[in-house]
Amino acid sequence: MKIEILGTGCKRCDQLYENTMGAVSKVDSPSEINVEKIGDVNYFTKMGVFMTPGLVIDGQVISTGKVPSTNEIMKMIVEKL
């Protein structure tokens, strides 16, 4: 599984990254999950993300413009596994 955090490095983007890492650590097979921070605005546009932060799981935009909690992200990950 590939999880991408789309953001330019703002506080909310960093919080989304921290929440995502916390969620990944709680799932059964965290070694199968790759989390990547992406700061390329052109990539955001390509993905249809116009408000950051953005959360993308396996190429599908899951959330934009908000910071889901660790538990919300964990539920999203489990649904995709």
Active site residue 10: yes
The answer, as to whether pTM is greater than 0.85, is: yes
Assigned CATH topology for domain 2-80? Glutaredoxin (3.40.30)
- Specify the pLDDT at position 29: 78
The helices-and-strands tally (H runs, E runs) of the chain is 3, 4
Domain boundaries, the chain: 2-80
- Residues of the chain short of pLDDT 50, as ranges, are none
Catalytic annotation, pick one of 13, 55, 56, 67: 13
**Amino acid identity for residue 69 in this structure:** S
Chain centroid to CA 48: 14
Determine whether 11 is an active site residue. no
Catalytic residue among 2, 8, 9, 10: 10
pLDDT given for residue 76 in this prediction: 93
Q: Say what the pLDDT of residue 13 is.
A: 95
pLDDT score at 28: 80
What tokens appear for 13 in the block? 């983007």
